Every structure is written in C-alpha cells, then in structure tokens.
Structure 1
Amino acid sequence: MSASFRNFIPMLHLDKEKVRWDQINKVLTETKPDIVPTPREIIWKKNKSTLYYHPAKEKKYEIPLFLVYSLLNKPYILDIGEGSSVVGGLTERGYDVYFLDWGSPGYEDSDITLDNYIFDYLENAVKRALRHSGAKEISMVGYCLGGTISAIFTSITKLPIKNLVLATVPIDFSIGIVPDKWLKGLQNGIINFDHFSDVYGVIPSEYLYLMFRGLSPVYVSPWVNLITRAHDEEYVKKWRRMDKWTKDTASFSGAAFKQMFNDLYKDNKLLKGELIIGGRKVDLKNITCPVFVFSTSRDTLILEEQSLPVMDMISSEDKTYEVFEGGHVSLALTGKFAVFADNWLKTRSNKIKKVTV
C-alpha cells in the first residue's frame, strides 16, 4: 500500500477495533449490570419509601447531608457505582449522607399528593436523619425536581436547615424544553392530565419512560457516543449503568401527578408565590440559610432560565449561583456533582477539629 493511500485512508487499529466491537456485543447481548451502592444502612421506612444512611469514610464535618432526588425517576442515578457515584464522592470527602428513595407507588397509593410526600415522607425522614446523626442542623441537597421539592420544604419547615444546595432545579415552569404548542396548550387548559391520572390512578412507569424519551432531543446520541468510545472499557461500564437507569423509570401517584402539572406547569404557582402545601403558603423568601444553586451548560432537560429566578426569590444573604460545563445527567455520572457541592459546602458544614494528644 502506497504512503499516499495510507494517508488518505488511515489504517485501522485492529486490536482496538476488536475491543470496541466486543464491548458493543456485550451491551447488546448481556443482562443489565448490577448497581452496587455505596455502603449504607436502612434507618427508616414508610410505605414504599426508604431512608438510607451512608457514613463518611472519614468524617470531617459535623453537618450531615440529606439528598433529595426527583419523584419522576429512580434515585440511584446519584449512587450508580464506584467512580460515578455522587453519594460515594461525598462520603469520600468526609460527609455523612442521608439519601431518601421515594420508591415506586402501587395502585393503592394513587391518592398520595405532593403535600403527603413533603410532610408525611420528607419531613419525617429529615427528622429521623437528625435524630440518627445527633446533629443540630442538616444540609439539604436537591437535584432536578428534587431541588424544587427541597426548596419548597426548606421554605415551610421549622426543622433546622443549615444549607440548601439546588442542582439543575426547575423553579419557573412557564418555560422548558417541551414544544411551545404543548406548553401553551397545558397553560391554557387545552392539554389536561386530570382524566388520564384518574383513569390510571398511578401513572405506569412505561408511560413515564416514553414521556422522557419524547423530551430527549436526540436519543441516538448515547449510541453514537458508545460506538465512538466502545474501546474504553471504563466508559462502557458507566454507559451500561446509565442505560439501565434510563430504562428503569418509577411509577407516579396520580394525585401527585395532577397536582404537579396543574399547580406547577399549568399555573406556575411556585414562581407566583401562590402554591399551597399542607395548608401553608409556599414563599421562597422564607429561605434565609446559605444557598448554592448551579446549572450545567449543556442541560437538555432543565434550562438555566428555569433555575435563575430562585436567586431573586430567596432572602439568603449568603447565596451563590454558578454554571458548570456538562449536561443534566453527566453532572452525576462524571462525579463532578460531588466536587462542586463539596467546594461550596466545606466552609459551611462545621469542620471537625482534630484533637491532638
């Protein structure tokens, strides 16, 4: 083969290509990988929900963290395996972590509302975490819709919240990634989920999966990334865990589903200060603790414009907003979430002073 021909068509690295296609074959033919969580113990349960305690590898801070994820997806994306775990990254950095798994509701849970989730589940779980830790205060860390729930909770609870971290959090529901006609139809009442929720009682996980796939701009892109980087075995391991989580959607209580779409998406009551939860008016200006809000530059699910309003709505004097390079899910998978959170939390979490003898 002439040198000019070799320059025109680069020679394939056969060993590298063999690894690449062996890995792709593994993805296509083998069962989904097991997800091994960061060491933990169950300290509280209610109905389908479970509160996990993940002890710090070497405790450095007095203030524990309480992680809240979205009700719409299973939360193990934040603890998806060694090298990618948000929970693991935080415990390695010296924090005790409490992590609430909402669970998947059954048909008997069709009448559970957002009020129930926030007061009967979240508030009681935070009480249990405070009692278990012996700490006088706790830091709330909310991701995506879990951030919305954390902000609502912090604004109405009397529990001692030391810090509030909100990652890729939707606050303004008048904008979003859904097509404009859909959003306007929802806001004008042309699109209504009440009958749909009443018929099903609990929204099946399969429907939520299809909904998320419909909202993903180009779902072929993960496969393009896989083929491009399939020679990298560590990347493929992370990709397979991510692929499993993507297809493993939770079910959703019909009552909470109706409430979320009517109060948040249709009427945008959180932004307007009109949201009522448990008979209490949700006013984010009641939040006075230190707050850290961050978005990602390539987020295709929660736009930066949806998060920014919270900075003007809260009363905190110590408040920080940043945008980091990355996407909505890659923020968790790359381990960057733990790094960003730690950089802000470590000066606000009461570092334990070592006693020298």
Structure 2
Amino acid sequence: MSTKALESNFLLPIKREAKRWNQLYKIMTEPKPEIVPTPRECVWKKNKTTLWFHPAKEKKYETPIFLVYSLLNKVYILDIGEGSSVVGGLTERGYDVYLLEWGSPGLEDSHLTLDNYIIDYLENAVKRALRHSEAKDITMAGYCLGGTAAAILTSITNLPIKNLVLAAVPIDFSIGIVPDKWLEGLQKGQLSFDRFADAHETIPSEFLYLMFRMLSPVYGSPKINLITRAHDEKYVEKWRRMDKWTKDTASFAGAAFKQMFNDLYRDNKLLKGDLMIGGRKVDLKNIKCPLFVFSCSRDNLVLEQQSLPVMELVSSEDKTYKVYEGGHVSLALTGAFAGIMDPWLAAHSQEIHEVLT
C-alpha cells in the first residue's frame, strides 16, 4: 500500500477523530461565545425595553421593517452573528430594520400585563420608529409569540402599518406543544398557574428554561449532534451560539404570565375574538393590510395548525401562506427568516427611486 493510500485510509480518520474530541473539550471548557450585533443605535428606551435601529448597508426601500420577537426569550436569536443574522440579512438586502428588545423584567415589574407590553411598549416603540425613520408607513414582522403580539397590535392600532409578516405564529391556543392534560386542565378550570405566578411575582428565567426544555427537545440543545459533527468548525460555531441562547432565557412578569395562560391558553380569546387589550377589543378582522404568514415543516414549538386560522380571520385581500422546510429555531439561527421574507417584502415595499420620481 502506498504512503498516500495509507494516509487516506488510516491517518486522516485518526486526525479527524482527534480534532473532533479536541473541539468537544474546548467547547465544554471555554467561555460562551460573544454575540456581536449588526451595526445599530438605540433610538428609544422604556424601563427594560430598548428599540434598536439597524440601518441598511445600502438603502433600497423606503419602508422600514419593525421586528417583534417573543416576550419569553432573548431577542438576539434574530441577530445571532455575521452570516446567520436575520437582521443582518435584511440590512444587506437594503432594508432599514428596527428591532424591539423587551428585556428581562425584575420583581418591580411583576404587575406588567400583556396590555402594558402591547400598548405602552410595542405601540409606542412603533410610533418612535415611524418618527425616527420619517417614513409614511412601516412593515410589522413578528416571530413566534412576537407574531401574536404584532397581530394583536395591528388589529387595534391606527398606526400606518403597511404590511404584516407572521412567522411560526400561534393564533389558536387550543392546540400546541403544551401537554394535552395541561390544556384540558386549564380549559376545565382544574389547573391554574395563578398561585405560582403570585408566589414568584416575576417568573424566574431558570423556570422558563426548564419549562421549554421539557416541552421541546430544541431547548435541550442535544449534544449528540455536536459529538457527531464536532470536526465541522462552522457547525460548531452555530451550535455554540444556539447553546448560549437556549440557556439564556428571559424572566417574565407574573401578571402577563397569568394573562397568557388564562386569556390565551385557557379561554383561547384571540381566536374567538373575545380578547381585550388596553380597553380595545382585539378583532383580527380589523387587519386589512397585505399579509404574509409562513410555518416550518419541522416546527416542534408552534404547529402549522396554530397559525393557519389567521388566514380566515383577517380581512386582507392580499394574503399569502407558505410552509418552508426547517424547524422553529433554525429559521432564525440560520438567518433563513430574512431570505424567506425578502421576495414578498420587495414586492410590498416602496423603493427609494419610486419616492424620488
């Protein structure tokens, strides 16, 4: 056997194995990776909440995008690093982007309700984005429970929302990843999280991490894939960012936690049209702007059946629904969210040259 064949058959696999185990040791012993955001500036703050402005690299569209993510998780999953960032993908495509970072509430924020978050925080942040951008209208884009909040706001506000994009959005809360026994108990009044929320006042991030880990394998950040692919440096880097994010859960205001389980999961008020936010009735029929909704084929957190009802509930004549290959977190972790939105957004956003002419 030639020296080249010997190296190919024996030495290269050994080197690959050595690299794999060295990588594993490095991952387990070194600090968590630093997440470097896409260039940004803070344009508004309220309590723990921050509105970030990410300017387009070369601005192509007059209509800015306002990104809303879940209250239950840290927003940097949408800006997880160069090459994988949803925010970066949009700014590279010529969009100005506003990203709302809810922050983690402390004990002093235990009284905050969904009404507060949607009216006092989200609606006011959109007002600030419109003033800052000097645009005549804006595109709302919500992901997961951020999509639920975006849909709620769009249905009750008079702000000029030009387009609405909803990704992996729960609208029907009678189904989903919450165990059937939990849902049945909530709906029959046999199970309540009120006392738990009252006892903690603000739900600790550690509890929410454990809850997500029990409900979905995504949040377990399974190491079997890492062990198998530890020789792949690009995969390892993405895995490390995801591992950091899944363990970096936000806390949650107790009043909003109770409202979420009682109004949404127990009574399914959003689907039924019975939800009240800030004294305003949430009727999704009030949504008349162009609508783009999409789900992921392997989403274990928000099922397609939870998103589909919105298509029949809104009054939008221009509405599109699609299913894409992938999982719930990978939609953001890979930056695919930006690429999925872009063709639809480009057709529904005013280009700069249109404004000039």
Q: Per the shorter chain, which TM-score range?
A: over 0.9
Q: Matched residues in 1 for 2:61 and 2:157: separation? A: 23
Opposite residue 68 of structure 1, the aligned amino acid is: V
1:179, distance to aligned residue in structure 2 (A) = 2.0
User: Are positions 1:52 and 2:45 aligned together?
Assistant: no
Q: Deviations over 1:236-284 (max 9, x none)?
A: 0111010000000000000000011100000000000000001111000
Q: Which runs of 5+ in 2 are unaligned?
A: none
Q: Matched residues in 2 for 1:41 and 1:257: separation? A: 30
Opposite residue 303 of structure 2, the aligned amino acid is: L
Q: Matched residues in 2 for 1:170 and 1:176: separation? A: 8
| Structure 1 residues 12 and 177: alpha-carbon distance in aligned structure 2, compared to 1, 3 A threshold | farther
Q: What corresponds to 1:212 in structure 2?
A: 212
1:10, distance to aligned residue in structure 2 (A) = 8.9
Opposite residue 177 of structure 1, the aligned amino acid is: I
Q: What corresponds to 1:222 in structure 2?
A: 222
User: Are positions 1:166 and 2:166 aligned together?
Assistant: yes
Q: Matched residues in 1 for 2:60 and 2:54: separation? A: 14
| Structure 1 residues 62 and 355: alpha-carbon distance in aligned structure 2, compared to 1, 3 A threshold | closer
Q: Deviations over 1:270-303 (max 9, x none)?
A: 0000000011110000000000000000001000
1:222, distance to aligned residue in structure 2 (A) = 3.0
Q: What corresponds to 1:145 in structure 2?
A: 145
Q: What corresponds to 2:342 in structure 1?
A: 342
Q: Deviations over 1:192-225 (max 9, x none)?
A: 0111111111001011011000101476673121
Q: Matched residues in 1 for 2:265 and 2:121: separation? A: 23
| Structure 1 residues 218 and 96: alpha-carbon distance in aligned structure 2, compared to 1, 3 A threshold | closer
Q: Deviations over 1:1-45 (max 9, x none)?
A: 9xxxx9xx9987122222211211111111101100000000000
1:278-297 pair list within 5 angstroms: 278-297=278-297
For residue 222 of structure 1, give the secondary structure of its aligned residue in structure 2: coil
Aligned residues: 350
1:178, distance to aligned residue in structure 2 (A) = 2.2
1:163-202 pair list within 5 angstroms: 163-202=163-202
Q: Matched residues in 1 for 2:40 and 2:221: separation? A: 34
Opposite residue 285 of structure 2, the aligned amino acid is: K
The 8 Å contact of residues 289 and 316 in structure 2, kept in 1 or not, is answered as yes
The 8 Å contact of residues 77 and 333 in structure 2, kept in 1 or not, is answered as yes
1:190, distance to aligned residue in structure 2 (A) = 1.2
The 8 Å contact of residues 194 and 258 in structure 2, kept in 1 or not, is answered as yes
1:334, distance to aligned residue in structure 2 (A) = 1.4
1:250-289 pair list within 5 angstroms: 250-289=250-289
Q: Matched residues in 1 for 2:185 and 2:220: separation? A: 28
Opposite residue 146 of structure 1, the aligned amino acid is: G
| Structure 1 residues 219 and 138: alpha-carbon distance in aligned structure 2, compared to 1, 3 A threshold | closer
Q: What corresponds to 1:29 in structure 2?
A: 29
For residue 293 of structure 1, give the secondary structure of its aligned residue in structure 2: strand
Opposite residue 262 of structure 2, the aligned amino acid is: N
The 8 Å contact of residues 176 and 302 in structure 2, kept in 1 or not, is answered as yes
User: Are positions 1:241 and 2:241 aligned together?
Assistant: yes
Q: What corresponds to 1:128 in structure 2?
A: 128
Q: Deviations over 1:154-212 (max 9, x none)?
A: 00000000000000000000001122112111111211011111111100101101100
For residue 99 of structure 2, give the secondary structure of its aligned residue in structure 1: strand
Q: Matched residues in 2 for 1:335 and 1:165: separation? A: 16
| Structure 1 residues 313 and 216: alpha-carbon distance in aligned structure 2, compared to 1, 3 A threshold | same
Q: Matched residues in 1 for 2:250 and 2:187: separation? A: 26
Q: Matched residues in 1 for 2:36 and 2:12: separation? A: 36
Percent identity reads 75
Q: Which runs of 5+ in 1 are unaligned?
A: none
Opposite residue 183 of structure 1, the aligned amino acid is: L
Q: TM-score, normalised by structure 1?
A: 0.95
Instruction: Report the RMSD for the aligned CA atoms in angstroms.
Output: 1.8
Opposite residue 159 of structure 1, the aligned amino acid is: L
Q: Which region of structure 1 is more displaced relative to structure 2, 43-52 or 19-28?
A: 19-28
| Structure 1 residues 11 and 191: alpha-carbon distance in aligned structure 2, compared to 1, 3 A threshold | farther
For residue 214 of structure 2, give the secondary structure of its aligned residue in structure 1: helix
The 8 Å contact of residues 218 and 329 in structure 2, kept in 1 or not, is answered as no
Opposite residue 103 of structure 1, the aligned amino acid is: G
Opposite residue 147 of structure 2, the aligned amino acid is: G
